Amino acid sequence: MKLPISALVLFSLLTSFLSAEESEFRTATIDLGIVVSDLDKSLKFYTEAVGFTATGEFVANKQVTKDSGLSAGEELTIKKLSLGTGKGATTIKLMQSSLEKSKKSDQTYITSSLGFSYLTIHVNSTKVALERLKKAGVKVLAKGPANIPGSQVALTVIKDPDGNFVELVGPADQE
């Protein structure tokens, strides 16, 4: 049965409303916090090289960070960056410790350490992403974009200023 466009739109709105109402979660996205060694350098990398937009900042005060177990009790200024807008936008939060020297995990490969190892960002154009990376002075790892066999998809892997992996997945349109 073929529904008219307006019926499809209404059906889509109703199902998304019902699924949101039935969920225990306020949003279907997560925010990822990244502790960095140099806040300015990381901010520049994620905005200029990757394409995030700075969307604000907030301060987590000493008492909150201590009482929640986030730190030994230091004030943290957290920079928010987003891909897109609205509730569905991915958000990362960058922060730098002023009290202690944070330790790096082994980032030789994505499998070198347990825990969260990399970000995956889906791009509309591998070619445009590569141009932005080149302009920002960021080098692509290994041989560059790797075409995934049996698909029209390319995987481009880079590292942020602290050596964390960021993979850009998009059409194999580089030339």
Distance CA 159, CA 66 (A): 31
Architecture of domain 29-101 in this structure: Roll (3.10)
List the pLDDT tens digit at each of the 175 positions of the chain: 444 444 444 445 445 555 555 778 777 888 999 999 999 999 999 999 999 999 999 999 999 899 888 888 899 999 999 998 888 899 999 999 888 778 888 889 988 888 888 999 999 999 999 999 999 999 999 988 999 989 999 999 999 999 999 999 999 974 4
Give ∠ CA 116-69-79 in degrees, rounded to 5.
Answer: 60
Q: Residue 69 carries which side chain, given as an amino acid letter?
A: G
Architecture of domain 104-175 in this structure: Roll (3.10)
Query: Domain ranges in the chain?
Result: 29-101, 104-175
Q: Which residues contact 111 (CB under 8 A, 6 or more apart)?
A: 117
Q: Would you give the end-to-end CA distance of the chain in angstroms?
A: 43
User: Beta partners for 154?
Assistant: 147, 170
Asked if the domains at 29-101 and 104-175 fall in one CATH topology, the answer is yes
